[in-house]
Amino acid sequence: MAKEQNPSAAFKSFMDQYNLTAARVAGDIKLSQSSIRLLLGGKLKISVPIAIRLSKYFGTKPEYWMNLQAAYELTETLKNPKLASVFKAIPRATKMDSKPKVSAKPGRASKKPAAKKPAARKPAARSSKSRA
């Protein structure tokens, strides 16, 4: 796999390809210019709403922008030496018995709740109309 691209570098590349300014993009996708500058500087993460805006604007899929952001964050997190020791200390999960053990008190059968009986029906009232 190729080297993961920084989301801000990808955004800058799109802006360069289309010869766009931060002010133009900000107005077109309804974000502030400061947000665009933060995105370009890598100080603002590409969130889902931003990914949708960029995808509509540049004709990409939102997943493109989300995957760029996720891959970048994963790479950066794995480089963090403090977290590396935490990750290394996490044990691998093991499966437990598929049937949990049920412990009943010796000599006593477990009681199941009694099933509800259907309610008795009342006989329908007879009509007392007389024929004349």
Q: Give 39-88 pLDDT, tens digit per residue.
A: 999 999 999 999 999 999 999 999 999 999 999 999 999 999 999 889 99
Q: Judge residue 123's burial from the number of C-beta atoms within 10 Å of its C-beta, 0-12 exposed, 13-18 middle, 19 or more buried.
A: exposed
pLDDT category at 14 given cuts 50, 70, 90 is very high
pLDDT of 99 over the 80 cut: no
**Segments making up each domain of the chain, as ranges:** 7-88
Model pLDDT, residue 2: 44
Report residue 8: phi and psi, to 5°.
-70, -35
Asked whether the beta carbons of 7 and 72 are under 8 A apart, the reply is yes
- CATH superfamily name and code, 7-88: lambda repressor-like DNA-binding domains (1.10.260.40)
Average pLDDT, the chain: 85
Q: Which residue has the tokens 């997943």?
A: 63
Count how many Cα atoms sit within 13 Å of the Cα of residue 85 in the half-sphere of its side chain. 2
